[in-house]
Amino acid sequence: QLKQASLQAWAEMRQQTRTWNNAAAQRRLETVGRRIVNAAGRGGQSWEFVLFDSAELNAFVLPGGQVGFYRGLYEICEKDDWMATVLGHEVGHVTGRHAAERYSRDVATQTGLQVAGQVTNNQLAMAALGLGAQVGIQLPFSREQESEADILGLNYMQAAGYNPREAIPLWQRMSQSGARQPEFLSTHPDPANRIARMQAYIQQQGW
């Protein structure tokens, strides 16, 4: 069900959202992205990297290997390390099977969903992929899942040859973005605690 929803969501996204035709930016995204997915042990699967022409500070990776990166977020990624921070975090959600955990939980219970009418499994799958705005359901990742994605992302950055310490200024800048902050910050009401956890992990690893 997740795979089907993933393909459907990606097809709709490509159809409805304008892509950003910037060859240099595209090459940069693919270069950083492939280094991260290789570091995550997922280099053997098919990946597709697309830049969307939107001012949003957001990015997403679907379980099928479809990567969407928004122009607004790209433009603040002054360093490749910052882009690797975002991609590492998102790929961490994929390798951590967080969408599958969300989907299984909510298909089993369908609790906490304040939605009029019947909720289909495909709608739940779309929401579990982090695309809930399209179907009127929001299923945020838990704080535990977000924290795991943070740590996995740091590991992938380091393994890919990027500087994990650069994750800190990137998340600090993101946390100051106010209303434009990306969806994956929404389950962390205190960004300072999140950053402190990452700093502690980086120090513990001797990076």
Measuring CA to CA, which residue among 153, 28, 131, 26 is closest to residue 86? 153
Count Cα neighbours of 109 within 13 Å in the Cβ-side half-sphere: 11
- CA 113 to CA 170: how far, in whole Å? 33
Is residue 133 exposed (0-12), middle (13-18) or buried (19+ Cβ within 10 Å)? exposed
- CA 141 to CA 94: how far, in whole Å? 12
Task: Give the residue numbers annotated as catalytic, written as ranges.
Answer: 90
- CA 182 to CA 177: how far, in whole Å? 9
